[in-house]
Amino acid sequence: MQTLTYALTYISSLQPNQRIASSSIRILADQAYYSNPGIQRKADSRFLDFNVTLKDAHKTGLGSSAALVTSFTAAVLSFYLPKSLFDLQSEKGQIILHNLAQASHSHAQGKVGSGFDIASAVFGSCLYKRFSPSLLSTLPQPSSPGFATELQSLIEGDDWDTEIRKAAIKMPRGLRLVMCDVDCGSETPSMVKKVLAWRQENKEEADRIWKDLQQGNEALAAELTRLAVADSISGDGAEKHNKLREIIHQNRGLIRQMGESSGVPIEPPQQTHLLDYCSTLDGVVGGVVPGAGGYDAVVLLVEDNEDIIASLRKSLEQYKPEDSEEGLRIGKVGIIGVREDMVGVKTEDLSLYEEWPTGS
């Protein structure tokens, strides 16, 4: 509802004297976003009928809320606005989409989170520096006086200090990302709030870990890009990825420090055990718990080879999860049918959705 309110408010501010016509909206969820078993209406369908309410759906931790907000906002703007006012294919259009999606998503999640999930949903893989939180803190509540004017000014203004560098990271040929679902789940906003509260109360320790982790993330991006642009790399597959392994190992150590100090299970013991297990498998360079962490999923950097993927899939089927002291247990671990992509938001062919009529 927040996303729709923000989108329609922005549309009204651009076309103040034009009535917004009614429309029927159906939202489909890609099966990669949920662990729930579902009914496949067609053999080649990308979408399942999960036959559960949204609150009962088990998320895989793939950033479904950010993807939904971004795609929904893009669809509404594209439907109601002429290309002269909003063109999804243009740089200006993508910046407007990014800013509007960030504003509505931040409001819905209680103004927590880095916003990287929205940025990557719009622009694809990138090196990202978040905007100043103060940008959104002064925005009036929806429906309050001045909200529409302030929203338009914010979305179209030059105050956004977000840094998005597409050229700063590349995926080397011969490597790919593999996302693994653990069918357990975490509440991202509450986890982020606890980490931010800890950071406020333990500024010196938190700033040190934050700084080291920032340097580690930049080192990872730099090494991936170096491998991607290198003309020739000496050594076999294991040796040429040793630096990547070391960086991932060090970054995971910092994440665990942050989790232990803040009391938030960013990389909980069950995920540590799973990642350590995966890191010993042939072709696996390393892995992390993505996003805000928790029990949602793990993401692995592996050699892009079908035999490696088949072997990994078999090893995960044989994996025995550990119980935790809290009684939480990760479910069956499996590979999600997605991989990395440098492309962000894009227009799809309507034929993909012909089995889901919206009515007349």
Q: Which has the higher per-residue pLDDT, 227 or 26?
A: 227
Task: Give me the percent of the chain exceeding a pLDDT of 70.
Answer: 87
What's the confidence (pLDDT) of residue 137? 83
Strand runs (DSSP E) across 6-126, as ranges?
39-40, 48-49
Dihedral angle over CA of 342, 346, 351, 355, nearest 10: 90
pLDDT band at 177 (very low <50, low <70, confident <90, very high): very high
Q: Of 10-19, 102-111, 184-193, 284-293, which one has max mean pLDDT?
A: 10-19
Query: What mean pLDDT do residues 313-326 have?
Result: 77
pLDDT band per the 50, 70, 90 thresholds, residue 314: very high
Question: Considering the entire predicted model, what is its pTM?
Answer: 0.82
The overall average pLDDT reported for the chain is 85
pLDDT digits (tens, 9 = 90+) for 32-59: 777 766 666 666 677 777 777 777 777 7
The strand ranges marked E within 33-106 are 39-40, 48-49
Q: What domains lie within the chain, and their CATH numbers?
A: 2-167+344-353 (3.30.230), 171-335 (3.30.70.890)
- Which 3 state secondary structure label does DSSP give 299? strand
Asked whether the beta carbons of 165 and 127 are under 8 A apart, the reply is: yes
What's the CA gap between 195 and 213, in Å, rounded? 14
> What is the predicted pLDDT for the residue at 128?
87
Whether residue 331 is predicted with pLDDT greater than 70 in this model: the reply is no
Q: Is 160 left (phi over 0), alpha (psi -120 to 50) or beta?
A: beta
**pLDDT value at position 85?**
95
Q: How confident is the model at residue 242 (pLDDT cuts 50, 70, 90)?
A: very high
Phi–psi pair at 34, nearest 5 degrees: -135, 145
**What b/e sequence results for 41-52 when a residue is b if at least 16 CB atoms lie within 10 Å of its CB, and e otherwise?**
eeeebebbebee
Q: How many residues are recorded in the chain?
A: 360
Q: Which of 65-69, 106-110, 182-186, 216-220 has the highest mean pLDDT?
A: 216-220
